[in-house]
Structure 1
Amino acid sequence: MNLFKISPAKEHVANSILRLQSLSYQVEAAVVGFPDPPTFEDNISSIMESGETFIGAYIEADLVGAISYKIEESYVDIYRLMVHPEHFRKGIGQSLLRSVIGIYPSKPSYVYTGSNNIPALNLYTSHGFHPTHEKEVTPGMFLTRLERPTSEVN
């Protein structure tokens, strides 16, 4: 597996990200018990215009994982972390998360994930993130905000 910074401004890259996101988030929706999460509203244009920085994980020519983030004032805001379901439990999510933490070790990081998504919560907490609060984004759909202080690179 190789990690590369990728450009969502290129249509074919945005299309690959959208396909990966759809597959990954379908599994997350089933895990958290929500059939149609808001992230399914994305399209190629919204990804191309997101302003997010993306890092992709590739096995040969296949995009099997991606993480996106923005630098906001003095912190890193992680927007998306997705892994192709055929590649779950292979350390791809950990590698992607470590790559962002490693790029910005002196900045705190923040992320939201489904409150019932135990695998994602475990991933983030194993990398020094701590839950701070929960919010209901639509009736019955809760997200947990996690933050990671600086200097703990795992």
Structure 2
Amino acid sequence: MTQLVDRAPGLGPADLPSFLLAGGEMAARIRDHDWSSTPLGPLASWPQALKTLVGVMMGSNQPMFIAWGPDRTLLYNTAYAHILASKHPDALGRDFLDVWSEIRADLTPHRRPGLRRRAGAHGRHPALDAPPRICGGDPLRVLLYPGPGPWR
């Protein structure tokens, strides 16, 4: 089981990355995780696009996750930790499809269209026709799957 480790004792709120100021338990786990052993690398080297998405996710009370990059590195908020159940906290920083290996075959068809900009499970969406945006020299593609819950 992953242990929370305070890698920088005495850190105050002003010392935390701004995208991790909200989010409770999972913000602390993301901050304290050894990201250098993952494809994402250390927090300080994360692209701004990823930091922005993590910040939005941390501020949400709806279950949310991010499977980032070709290695599908998993990040998630506290609400999604409840969905992971016994897979939490070991799922943090692992390949999303490895975390959900028992349903990998069911998940793979949903992942591929978003990465290839083809029709998804719900048909063609105009957002998939747009060219990828460039963020810091890297193409950025975002595919959103709305879940149940109140929308404001």
Larger Rg computed on CA atoms: 2
Q: TM-score, normalised by structure 2?
A: 0.34
Higher RCO (CA-CA < 8 Å; seq separation 6+): 1
